[in-house]
């Protein structure tokens, strides 16, 4: 497992989720009628696939450099894909799955990720999962 596998998981998810958003009718989900794109099982599949991949990486011999590359990619994806709300929030929500890889980082890599994370996700906008990630990056020694 490495960055290529993570990218493949993201590409598959983004392709499917963006198609759903583009096919969406303005009335979908309105008054409980129709199906909202946010209800599609692709979101849950994405989170499950990502969690499995990250668990394998954390349990394996991933280098600090590889961990930093994977985490940087994951943390940057909401910023690059913010045009659809349901996709954006799912990309943010999975940040909570990354805590186990933070232990693999060097203190220097954690500091770099913390700086970019803080710039991309302001303190007052962070979800609880993001607050935990930021705290873990802050406390990495």
Average pLDDT over residues 46-53: 96
Low-confidence winner among 14-28, 36-50, 61-75, 103-117 (lowest mean pLDDT): 14-28
Distance CA 138, CA 15 (A): 33
DSSP at 103: T
Domain of 59?
A: 3-139
pLDDT digits (tens, 9 = 90+) for 22-40: 776 554 554 455 555 556 6
Pull the structure tokens for residue 52: 């499995």
Q: Which residues contact 26 (CB under 8 A, 6 or more apart)?
A: none
What's the average model confidence in pLDDT over 8-25? 87
Quote the CA–CA distance of 125 and 141 in Å, as a whole number.
26
Q: How many Å apart are CA 127 and CA 20, to the nearest integer?
A: 25
What is residue 141's predicted lDDT score, i.e. its pLDDT?
Answer: 78
Structural domain total, the chain: 1
| Residues in Cβ contact with 40 at an 8 Å cutoff, skipping those fewer than 6 apart | 16, 17, 20
- Between the alpha carbon of residue 59 and those of residues 19, 24, 102, 137, the distances in Å are 34, 39, 12, 19
4/73 Cα distance (integer angstroms):
11
The residues near 25 (Cβ < 8 Å, ≥ 6 apart) are 34
pLDDT score of 2: 87
Range ranked top by mean pLDDT from 23-27, 42-46, 81-85, 109-113: 109-113
């Amino acid at each position: 497992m490495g960055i290529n596998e993570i990218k493949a998981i993201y590409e598959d998810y983004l392709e499917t989720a963006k198609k759903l958003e583009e096919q969406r009718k303005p009335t979908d989900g309105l008054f409980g009628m129709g199906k909202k794109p946010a209800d599609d099982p692709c979101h849950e599949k994405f989170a499950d696939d990502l969690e499995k991949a990250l668990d394998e990486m954390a349990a394996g011999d991933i280098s600090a450099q590889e961990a930093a590359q994977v985490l940087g990619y994951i943390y940057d994806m909401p910023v690059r894909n913010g045009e659809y709300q349901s996709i954006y929030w799912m990309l943010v929500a999975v940040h909570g799955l990354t805590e186990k890889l933070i232990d693999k980082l060097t203190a220097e890599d954690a500091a770099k990720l913390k700086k970019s994370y803080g710039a991309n996700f302001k303190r007052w906008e962070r979800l609880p999962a993001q607050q935990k990630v930021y705290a873990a990056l802050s406390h990495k020694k």
